[in-house]
Amino acid sequence: MALVSDLTTKVLFETEKGYSYQCDLTNSIIINFIDTVSSYKIQDFLIFQRKVNSVDILNMLYDLSDQSDAQLIETTKRNFSRNLTICEIVQLRDLLNGTKFTLTLHSMLCNIVNVELI
């Protein structure tokens, strides 16, 4: 069973709090963050990544009310719905941005290899 798993998944990025991988069978990005696993098509992943990056961390830090200590982060298709603290939002950003960087780098390398083969 491990052999099938190795052939169909590729780890993209890993942090202390989670990791992401690409599943070739479902053509999706899987995010495992603090024991929450969610699956995204590439377009949904990019939307989720932009949404997490748009959270105003500085405003949360300077706001002294109890409500600003955490924020509900949800995706449109309900793949991910959690109330995250400021630290967890920063850690999720790190995971999502690292995953996007890896995808972008892989795409650029594939384009260069394809140009050189022609």
Give the integer Cα–Cα distance in Å for 67 and 53: 19
Give the integer Cα–Cα distance in Å for 23 and 21: 7
DSSP per-residue string spanning 38-107? EEE-HHHHHHHHHHHHTS-HHHHHH--SGGGGEEEEE-TTSS-EEEEEHHHHHHHHHHHHHHHHHHHHHH
pLDDT of 84 reads 93
Using only C-alpha atoms, the chain has a radius of gyration, in whole angstroms, of 16
pLDDT of 3 reads 42
> Which two three-digit tokens encode residue 97?
């941005």
pLDDT (tens digit per residue) in 83-112: 999 999 999 999 999 999 999 998 898 888
- According to DSSP, the residues that pair with 9 across neighbouring strands are 23
